[in-house]
A and B are shown apart, each in its own frame.
Chain A
Amino acid sequence: MQLDVRDVSFAYGQRLALQGVSFTVQSGRLNALLGPNGAGKSTLMALFSRLYRLQQGDILLGELSIRRQPRQALRQLGVVFQQSTLDLDLSVRQNLAYHAALHGLSRRQAAPRIESELQRQGLLERQHEQVRQLNGGHRRRVEIARSLLHEPKILLLDEPSVGLDQASRLALNQHIRLLCAERGLTVVWTTHLLDEIQAEDPVVVLHQGRILAENSAAELVHSSAAASLADAFARLTGQTEAA
């Protein structure tokens, strides 16, 4: 499913966080949303997930408008927020069951999905452990399993690798790419860590609330006559060093 952002602007009081942002997220791919801290990535995520109300513009998930059909749109969306939203006191399974119920799935419907997602994440044997006992990488995997329970077509990941060690970051990245390939899942991956992006990935560069570029990573490097994506990113955002 394609995701279209159309002329979205958003202000926190007087401060503009997004200004006329438009771009298209490609279906069935890992799309990177790049930007330094404060670029407006998390604001966009909050608008995608309807935590904030759209002030201007619209966001379309396929044909569904977040403005006009917000609830149908939410059914197509899985979200992993930058800050964990797991309930640390509950077990892995209880967290997942709660999410499934919120999406209207009965226990009978939810049970096999919970098991298969946990199996896929290699966490089935830890399903009865309290989330508090898991490390950062495992918690992230629980959040991803949770976000896929209602079988969304689009998965939003807001800085999912923050706080993870190198091995966990790599594993997570590979896992998400596998999901794109196997299920045709459309993924929006916001990050400021450029090594998570591959040459063929569609990339949107957001800086100070505006879109600076929208292209594949390889094209971006080529068109800015840069030596690497980090270099291209630094040139685009006017930073001396890439993040």
Chain B
Amino acid sequence: MNLHAYLACLGGILQREWLRFILQRSRFLSALVRPLLWLLVFAAGFRAALGVSIIAPYDTYITYETYILPGLCCMILLFNGMQGSLSMVYDREMGSMRVLLMSPLPRPFLLVGKLLGTSLISLIQVYAFIGIAWLFDIQPPLFGLLTALPALLLAALLLSALGLLLSNGIRQLENFAGVMNFVIFPMFFLSSALYPLWKMREASEWLYWLCSFNPFTHAVELVRFALYERFNAMALIICLGLLLVVTSLAVLTFNPQHAALRRKSE
């Protein structure tokens, strides 16, 4: 198999994700409703309770809506990453998984291609969300939209790979409700998405440390800085390192037999 074969294969995987995306418009809309509710309803009520002082990367006082925008972008990536990976491993897409695995190309390549496909589709949703936020006067710098792109892609890949790793290993995560309660909500709330970490520290030292160790916090900070044309080296190193580790583990532990055997033994 030469390079052309790999490119054709990757092109095929990405095209399929794109086709599925444009065919499932209702899913696209519902994926936007969630962060918009947070932005336009929750934030409106909450901003009176929470004063955000001037912190990097912001140069001035900002509204609460402005603060949570990067976190909500990452929330879209988190939901999509988990959902995509789960459906890849469990029944709903068992058929398409079989088709994918019949490819003679190396499985790590196929899995990473699939993660990339899900991530790129997530980015479209994120930019659509930022576009709507823009209409409500939540406007990051225009050039920041471009500098945020690699940060968002890195975060999307990391969260998708994390989803794949979790669905490989944890039996209890077979339905999405379980993932919401035990993965998505804890990751989201124990991060800097909704409140700066110094605020969290005022409330509880150990909650602060939990947030600091949460990979999602670093993904949010990477995106937050990039969106304001700033570079957060620490967040980048952590996210890149985690991406490598988590993707390798997810690929190594991937075994389609597990899902099939679970069904057989039930």
Contact = CB atoms under 8 A, between A and B. Distances in A.
B102 A49 contact: yes
A85 B103 contact: no
A139 B83 CA distance: 28
A71 B106 contact: yes
Nearest to B1: A104
Given A51-B257, A90-B16, A106-B4, A101 B98 contact: no
Given A72-B104, A86-B95, A89-B23, A100 B257 contact: no
Interface stretch (A91-99, A115-123, A170-178, A235-243): A91-99
A101 B260 contact: no
Bin chain B's interface residue count. Answer: 20 to 34
B99 A102 contact: yes
Nearest to A108: B8
Given A13-B261, A85-B96, A101 B13 contact: yes
B255 interface: yes
A145 to B, nearest CB: 14
B199 interface: no
Interface string B1-22: 1001110110111011001100
B98 A81 contact: yes
Interface string A8-26: 0000110000000000000
A111 to B, nearest CB: 12
Contacts of A49: 98, 101-102
Given A74-B104, A75-B104, A97 B261 contact: no
Nearest to A55: B257
Given A13-B265, A90-B19, A104-B6, A98 B12 contact: yes
B4 A102 contact: no
A79 B105 CA distance: 16
B242 interface: no
Contacts, number: 99
A97 B101 contact: no
B32 interface: no
A72 B102 CA distance: 11
B256 interface: yes
Interface string B79-116: 00000000000000001101111111110001000000
Given A74-B104, A103-B104, A85 B99 contact: yes
B235 to A, nearest CB: 35
Contacts of B104: 71-72, 74-75, 103-104
B103 A74 contact: yes
B246 to A, nearest CB: 23
Interface string A165-205: 00000000000000000000000000000000000000000
A103 B104 CA distance: 6
A101 B102 contact: no
Interface of A: 12-13, 46, 49-53, 71-72, 74-75, 77, 79, 81, 83-87, 89-90, 94, 97-107
Instruction: Name the 6 nearest CB pairs between A and B, nearest first.
Output: A101-B12, A104-B5, A102-B103, A85-B95, A74-B104, A75-B104
